[in-house]
Structure 1
Amino acid sequence: MDVEHPGETDEIIFNDLIPLPFRILLLLQFGLGLWFLLNVILYNFTSINVLQLLNLSYNSHNYIQLDDLNHNNNPTEVNGEFETGLPAEKQENSRLIQGIWRNFKKVTIINLSSWILFKFLQYYKPDYKIIYYSIPIISFMYNFLILFYKSNVFGPSNKNPSLIINVGQIRMWTTLKRILIGNINYQTMRTNDILMSDSLVSFAKVLNDFGLFVWSYYINETNAYNYKLEFFILCFPIMVRMKQCFYEYKCTLNKQHLLNMLKYFTGIGPLSINALIKYTLLKSTDLERENGELIIKLTKLNNWWYILMLINSTYSFVWDLKMDWHLELFNNFFNLFSSTRTSQKFTVLRQQKQYPDFIYIIAISIDFLLRYLWVLKIFIINEELKSKKIHFLHIFSTFLFGYDVYSFGYVLIEILEIFRRCVWCFIKLDSDFVKVNSNVIEMDSFEK
């Protein structure tokens, strides 16, 4: 349960240093920086070809559609989406890294400059509220323009305009538009779409921060954030993924997609309980507070929250390992329910992999710990316990969960979730690359 009123000191120290809108921009930069670092690692230390997985290339001859377009010389026939007919060369990923780095530098410069100007006006010219309140909006518009609409993440580093330069820009924009309405190109760009839509799920709290920013800065500065709006924003990325899963099921009739949809659906349960907790607090009367009725209601809701979080975290963790990373830790367990049971030796990883075993063990540990980080909320209520160990857990848990969205603890949770998603992408790309190469080998063997 989120506490409605944070500790005064905690709020002032952090939110005064980095106001809410710039914290959102900082988290976006952090995500972009991790994506840059991820690609640098994959390019320099593995044989994984990210561009191949994204079905993207810098070589115009790899695009059948681009070749046809060049012959027709009619750019108006472009449908806004390109897929490669031939896989990109591994060396082309260096341009991807350069493009990400260029965008990272651009948004860093504008965000830092905007923050300095905002703090200056806020401190020295507090009466110029309309002016310095417009600075974050301008920064958001610039970030959106650079990262999505006019993105050159996938563009060549040279300045000569050509058709191929626009491929990455079109890809980013069309992918964003497609996933926001819950569609997915499951045939040729599934990895491309899944990476962005699942990242959107991990950025749900950041999206909600943006809703809070608009509410508190421009709509209503005095009243508390609308819990209905908060619930909708937090659920939106989940509903996007659910719609994508259902769409894939309709197209393929593969029940795996229904099970995946159910996984995301379990994430709506805890959000619903949170909304009910805030509704209960909002509608509570003085009599309910005095006679202890309110405490009983909140305790029941909290217990349901723990149950639903346990279901969601366990389902998601097992799915990460079994379905997304294709590791074998839970294979023997699922064999118990299989109609064709086979006795297998217990293994944790898989035979085909790009990294040393300890990398996967670290990834599994990180995913597990951060999936179940919410368990620390239990220790917030153990304030009176004497054990030093429990006392430390109480302090740490209160730091993370005992304050509201303006506290540094809340921001740390957002940072950890974005980091967890980066780790997930790291192993997911490895899994998809192994799968793609296995299919290629099978096709070559079949042709021979």
Structure 2
Amino acid sequence: MDEPPGETKALMFSSFLPLPFRILLLVQLGVTLWFMLNLLLYNLSSSINILQLLNLSYTKHNYAQLDNHVLSSGEFATTIPADRKENLRLIKGIWATLRSISIFNFVCWLIFKGLQYYGKDLKMIYYSILLVSFTHLFYKLFYKTAATPGQIRVFTTMKRILCGSINSRSMRANDILISDSLVSFGKVLNDFALFVWCYCIGEASAYDFRLEFVVLCIPIFIRIKQCWYEYSITQKPQHLLNLVKYSTGFGPLVVNSLIKNRLLSSSAEERDSGDLIQHLTNLNHWWYFLSALNSIYSFIWDIKMDWHLQLFNKVINPREKFSVLRPYKAYPNIVYILAISIDFLLRFIWVLKLFIINEELRSDTKISYLHIFSTFLFGYDVYSFGYHIIEILEIFRRWVWCFIKLESDWVQLKYEDRAVFALNELVKDENNKST
């Protein structure tokens, strides 16, 4: 692909790692973090069983819906929890997939760069290599094969999620992990749409901001539909509040589209008179306000509802005693403090947009490092290295979220098991007394 024009050309990043290979790298990063997550949870904790949380097993006898002649299907949840040692099989399977796509993508990148260097008129071959790379990636990650129940589970889960459905009865943790991760991969999904646009329409034609808006909204729409479904069957207000949380993500996207539309439709008179600047300034104020609303709501939800920590309990109920964490934990306190700090910083990293170097500051010899760093992250377009860093940071933030989320779900599961056990023992005692 040709190097994009403009200031980002000077960064040489797009020349070294073209947009399609950046997409492949980000998806590969997601698989790497999922592998590390399972490896850490298995080795650092002697109790957490990921397969039990996902209601997945590699032993078909753990599925009550099946008989001895039918292989286990990802559409089913286990009724007998998987043995913790089965997680090693999950880890080995993820590692095999990661190794395969890493080697294949690297070889395709080498071929691509070689052809790009020696063959100036072989654009169709360039795109053929890219299509082969994406096909291999989708096949290894999402294609339904009879190899393992894990691969079948990924296929059926993705099919269910892309339709906006959720199995909240027996696979809620399974579906939520993928659905929320898809939200964090929203920019990567948009990058893929941009790649398809360049392939079908041409690089000379500007990417339609309306298509960009639709693509970025897809993961949010999926979660909203899932929240509404859970609310409709349970009538629990927490699902409605979760729906509102995801709805706040539309605000910045709408304002961003209005800004781009205004820039494209403005006349020379408006630019000369200053009306355009004033209108864009007002839209920017709305963007900051709506982004703050979304970040604050989402951060509180992460801490209170997803991680079940007690940092905001006193805010919600002033009578409660102030506490940051929770009584039952699987990790040292420092792990949760770091997770809270990382989630906060990356939820509000957009604040750095306030410090982007503008035209007036460019002529000033005293430009702070904060302005330079902010401009590096947010001052360029989708082809820049800074934009890529923002995508990596969001994927990393989601990994931290998953790390504490799984631990929280496990603690909740064990706590419920203990409560049920205690209730059963109490009932037995009462029965013994009555007899």
- Inter-CA distance 36–297: structure 2 relative to 1 (3 Å threshold): same
List runs of 5+ in structure 1 lacking aligned partners.
152-162, 337-342
TM-score by length of 1: 0.90
Q: Is the 8 A contact 2:357 2:372 kept in 1?
A: no
1:217 aligns with 2:199: yes
Find the counterpart in structure 2 of residue 300 from structure 1: 282
- Inter-CA distance 80–430: structure 2 relative to 1 (3 Å threshold): closer
- Inter-CA distance 10–192: structure 2 relative to 1 (3 Å threshold): farther
Find the counterpart in structure 2 of residue 405 from structure 1: 382
Instruction: Select the residue among 151, 159, 165 that pairs with 1:169.
Output: 151
Q: Is the 8 A contact 1:202 1:417 kept in 2?
A: yes
Structure 1: distance between partners of 2:86 and 2:365: 57
1:135 aligns with 2:135: no
Query: For residues 1-12 of structure 1, what are the structure 2 equivalents within 5 Å?
Result: 6-11=6-11
Please give the root-mean-square deviation of Cα atoms over the aligned residues, in Å: 1.8
Find the counterpart in structure 1 of residue 32 from structure 2: 33
List runs of 5+ in structure 2 lacking aligned partners.
426-435
Q: Is the 8 A contact 1:24 1:210 kept in 2?
A: yes
Q: Is the 8 A contact 1:6 1:402 kept in 2?
A: no
1:369 aligns with 2:345: yes
Instruction: Select the residue among 133, 140, 146 that pairs with 1:146.
Output: 140
Find the counterpart in structure 1 of residue 116 from structure 2: 122
Structure 1 segments, 4+ long, off by >6 Å, are: 385-388
Structure 2: distance between partners of 1:8 and 1:79: 48
Using the TM superposition, give the Cα deviation of residue 127 of structure 1 relative to its aligned residue in structure 2, in angstroms: 1.3
Find the counterpart in structure 2 of residue 414 from structure 1: 391
Query: For residues 68-147 of structure 1, what are the structure 2 equivalents within 5 Å?
Result: 68=67, 70=68, 73=69, 81-147=75-141
Using the TM superposition, give the Cα deviation of residue 281 of structure 1 relative to its aligned residue in structure 2, in angstroms: 0.5
Using the TM superposition, give the Cα deviation of residue 397 of structure 1 relative to its aligned residue in structure 2, in angstroms: 0.4
Using the TM superposition, give the Cα deviation of residue 83 of structure 1 relative to its aligned residue in structure 2, in angstroms: 1.0
1:321-377 CA-to-partner distances (Å, cap 9, x unmatched) read 0000000000011114xxxxxx33210000101110010000000000000000000
Structure 1: distance between partners of 2:351 and 2:314: 27
Q: Is the 8 A contact 2:31 2:98 kept in 1?
A: yes
Instruction: Select the residue among 378, 401, 412 that pairs with 1:435.
Output: 412
With 132-141 and 403-412 compared, the bigger mean Cα shift is at 132-141
SS of alignment partner, residue 362 of structure 1: helix
Structure 1: distance between partners of 2:247 and 2:10: 34
Using the TM superposition, give the Cα deviation of residue 80 of structure 1 relative to its aligned residue in structure 2, in angstroms: 5.6
Structure 1: distance between partners of 2:128 and 2:370: 41
Q: Is the 8 A contact 2:8 2:383 kept in 1?
A: no
- Inter-CA distance 405–432: structure 2 relative to 1 (3 Å threshold): same
1:391 aligns with 2:368: yes
Using the TM superposition, give the Cα deviation of residue 116 of structure 1 relative to its aligned residue in structure 2, in angstroms: 0.7
Structure 2: distance between partners of 1:249 and 1:123: 56
- Inter-CA distance 10–355: structure 2 relative to 1 (3 Å threshold): farther
Instruction: Select the residue among 170, 190, 211 that pairs with 1:229.
Output: 211
User: 1:439 corresponds to which letter in structure 2?
Assistant: E
Q: Is the 8 A contact 1:114 1:139 kept in 2?
A: yes
User: 1:129 corresponds to which letter in structure 2?
Assistant: K
Find the counterpart in structure 1 of residue 402 from structure 2: 425
1:198-248 CA-to-partner distances (Å, cap 9, x unmatched) read 000000000000011111133222111010110000010001000000000
Find the counterpart in structure 2 of residue 359 from structure 1: 335
Q: Is the 8 A contact 1:376 1:397 kept in 2?
A: yes
- Inter-CA distance 396–98: structure 2 relative to 1 (3 Å threshold): same
Query: For residues 42-53 of structure 1, what are the structure 2 equivalents within 5 Å?
Result: 42-46=41-45, 47-53=47-53
- Inter-CA distance 134–416: structure 2 relative to 1 (3 Å threshold): same
1:105-126 CA-to-partner distances (Å, cap 9, x unmatched) read 0000110011111111111112
Structure 1: distance between partners of 2:355 and 2:121: 44
| Residue identity (%) | 59
User: 2:340 corresponds to which letter in structure 1?
Assistant: I
1:231-280 CA-to-partner distances (Å, cap 9, x unmatched) read 00001000100000000000100011010000000001000011001000
Using the TM superposition, give the Cα deviation of residue 420 of structure 1 relative to its aligned residue in structure 2, in angstroms: 0.1
User: 1:32 corresponds to which letter in structure 2?
Assistant: V
Flag the structure with more relative contact order, 1 or 2, with Cα contacts below 8 A and sequence separation at least 6. Answer: 1
Q: Is the 8 A contact 2:141 2:151 kept in 1?
A: no
1:142-165 CA-to-partner distances (Å, cap 9, x unmatched) read 1011011147xxxxxxxxxxx7x4
Instruction: Select the residue among 279, 288, 297 that pairs with 1:315.
Output: 297
Q: Is the 8 A contact 1:5 1:404 kept in 2?
A: no
Aligned residues: 419
1:65 aligns with 2:65: yes
SS of alignment partner, residue 65 of structure 1: coil
Q: Is the 8 A contact 2:49 2:84 kept in 1?
A: yes
- Inter-CA distance 74–402: structure 2 relative to 1 (3 Å threshold): closer
- Inter-CA distance 365–120: structure 2 relative to 1 (3 Å threshold): same
User: 2:329 corresponds to which letter in structure 1?
Assistant: K
TM-score by length of 2: 0.93
Q: Is the 8 A contact 1:6 1:403 kept in 2?
A: no
Q: Is the 8 A contact 1:197 1:237 kept in 2?
A: yes
Using the TM superposition, give the Cα deviation of residue 445 of structure 1 relative to its aligned residue in structure 2, in angstroms: 1.5
Instruction: Select the residue among 218, 228, 251 that pairs with 1:269.
Output: 251
